A = this chain, B = another copy of it.
């Protein structure tokens, strides 16, 4: 496939890497040539990291890298391309301008079979594609950072997105080794943030109510519930927590689940005191000046976990044969 990445910032570089690793030809577009200069170096460094972890599927870094070219010529990039992934900051007006520009170029180049996917984490495609001629080719494909270690991508069609475009986007993401999940309609926060915020909000409330410390919330997840969740989702989890599977679990335990959830406090912004308490707890663990180093640590942990999961998946596959 011929892929265009629109925007060469952090997430654009990751997308370029993912598509190229899977054998596709990638054009990395930015209107700022200066931005593009550092992008290839950064991608090369990321590829080396993947290779040393065994996540390049035996390919040489140079072979993957040569599939990626940079360009400031959007017109030329779109001509004949199969798929474009937009990666500009999450600002509504910016998305509107970019998609209007893309719509005009699709018309001009006559490439009406291209898919136009936005990386936005929060803005539904209906917000910025409604007036477009080729709006049926537009949708959201939101990755989690860093996507080369966290495979899920949420695919969110607008009401006017063609079902074939949604299905083809899923197929394309599957083909590059990501894990697409497909929403049937637009909802606030999509899936990732709804699930993340459900947990976070109850964390805020428990700390605000004085039930426990912020560190205890983190420990409950990082040394408790999060272990199962790194390879099983919530339904797969409860399916194994009752003798007769999920059906049996729901009969036995859902009255308790409902009772506990009805006991949750109000959904509101945590107070300044609560935020200050969480901040103090976090700064005790990681001083402010070490935050950048800590982000590096997180990415290294995610890389090591990706390797671990790949090994476990291979063992699973082998034991099934």
Contacts and interface: CB of A to CB of B under 8 A. Distances in A.
A227 interface: yes
Nearest to A152: B224
Interface in A206-235: 206, 209-212, 214, 216-235
Contacts of A22: none
Closest 6 CB pairs of A and B: A218-B233, A226-B229, A152-B224, A189-B260, A230-B230, A181-B216
Instruction: Pick from A192, A198, A201, A259 the residue with the most CB of B within 10 Å.
Output: A198
Interface string A144-160: 10000111101000000
Interface in A249-272: 250, 254-264, 267-270
A192 B260 contact: no
A182 B283 CA distance: 20
Given A246-B275, A283-B245, A195 B233 contact: no
Contacts of A192: 220, 224-225
A167 interface: no
Given A235-B217, A275-B250, A308-B305, A223 B189 contact: no
